[in-house]
Amino acid sequence: MQLITGISELVVNDLDTLGELGIITDAALLIDDGRIIWSGPSAEADTAVSSRLGESVGKGLNDDDIANGEVTSANDLGGLETIDLGGKAVIPGFVDSHNHLIFAGDRSEEFAARMAGQKYSAGGIATTVAATRAATESELEANLVHLLEQAKRQGTTTFEIKSGYGLTVPDEIQALDIINRHTEESTLIAAHVVPPEFKDEPERYVDLVIDEIIPAAEGKAKWIDVFCETGAFTEVQTRRIIEAGKTVGMKPRLHANQLTEGGALKLGAELGCVSVDHATFASDEDLAVLAEAGTVVTLLPSIEFSTRQPYPDARRYADAGVSLAIASDCNPGSGFSNSMPFVIAIGVRDMHFTVEQAVWAATAGGANALQRTDVGHLGVGARADLAILDAPSYRHLAYRPGVQLVERVYSGGELIVDNRPRD
């Protein structure tokens, strides 16, 4: 069992309300068996520990022992690890609900061309498809692990990971098998782009996805996703693929309105998508439909940063009553960053999130986009997934962009990252 004290600001989070961080100052946090069992003011920690742990810490204590004052301090309880942070902020581990981490190859040259003025289009995905198909399973997994470790050092504890760079039955299934070794949030996006061999026959590829890839992926993918966009898949094709995925038990989500203001957002709401992602272009009618449907809109700030697309105004989306999340969308082409603090800083600076909204969207919002109630917050019963900041306030995540502020990371109560300097 662990008692963490000396927390300057504890971000607890309300999963239902954008920006409602539930801050406790001068706080303490009690963890047992990988879960949060209490949080509150440090001054109440001894009482909380005594009343909650009793004989479970191995001293045979009962209610009379506690009432009679035999337990007066947390330190009287055996088997309790106490960690004093000395005035540092604690936030929930980031929930990165949109990632493309199974790939091979490098597209830095493409990035440089964009920065020199070349317009981004979805066609560059084919470059990664070729490299991914040529890579071995061990090479793909090693790259995935490398990227996951980088992200964990930045405070991310929950990952959604998509397939989508193989685009054949064996390649997509191989990707899902790798993903499932590292997260339960696996997504099949065989409909990422039409592969080169089907360039002139896109309907044949759609048939392949529906008739062969989706059946082969049954039980291997929690989610089904489609890139519904000019240059990728039409709304008619998207509907067919999403419905096929739902038939075998996959939950729907969608890449929508990244490059153009089409009908993908309304389609996502109609199809019952849990989340529609990108949503760079959205009309007032789109936002009203999404708010009515309760569909989460996952904004991806690093994509606009990397492609020089216009930044959507998160304040407008929030005012429309839309549920919001932000994620990294780490991928080798349109945005190769797996840093959620970086995403928060961009969201605040260029998308007009308040700091509170951005931190919430990167934690509780991501949990909502994955239909998870055990992560994204630090309420009683939640997984003890948390990041300790080398700062007195969560506000420093946007206030000090580019600085390594995540000092330690816990996943299920276990220390998985320690960025503190070594003597």
Q: Which residues are registered as beta bridge partners of 4? A: 29, 83
CB 218 within 8 A of CB 246: no
* 331 carries a ligand binding annotation: yes
Strand pairing of 81-92 and 386-389?
antiparallel
Dihedral sign, Cα of residue 119, residue 226, residue 303, residue 196 = negative
Classify residue 164 by its DSSP letter: -
- Cα 81–chain centre separation: 29
Phi–psi pair at 260, nearest 5 degrees: -140, 160
Tell whether 334 is in a known binding site.
yes
Q: Do the annotations mark residue 258 as ligand-binding?
A: yes
Say how many C-beta atoms besides its own lie within 10 A of residue 78's C-beta: 11
Backbone CA torsion sign across 173, 179, 184, 187: negative
Backbone angles phi, psi at 78, to 5 degrees: -70, 155
Alpha helices by DSSP H, listed for 308-404, are 314-319, 340-350, 355-360, 366-369, 396-399
- Asked whether 382 and 375 are in contact (CB, 8 A), the reply is yes
Residue 207 assigned as binding residue:
no
Residue 150 annotated as binding site: no
Task: Please check if 329 is assigned to a binding site.
Answer: yes
Judge whether 165 is annotated as a binding position. Answer: yes
The CA-CA-CA angle for residues 82, 86, 91, to 5°, reads: 80
Q: Is 333 annotated as a binding residue?
A: yes
Q: Is 422 annotated as a binding residue?
A: no
Q: Which amino acid is at 137?
A: E
Sheet holding 251-256, edge to edge: 94-96, 156-162, 185-191, 223-228, 251-256, 275-278, 296-299, 323-326
Contact 375, 398 (CB under 8 A): no
Binding residues for Fe(3+): 98, 100, 255, 329
Binding residues for 4-imidazolone-5-propanoate: 107, 165, 192, 258, 334
Binding residues for Zn(2+): 98, 100, 255, 329
Binding residues: 98, 100, 107, 165, 192, 255, 258, 329, 331, 333-334
Binding residues for N-formimidoyl-L-glutamate: 165, 331, 333
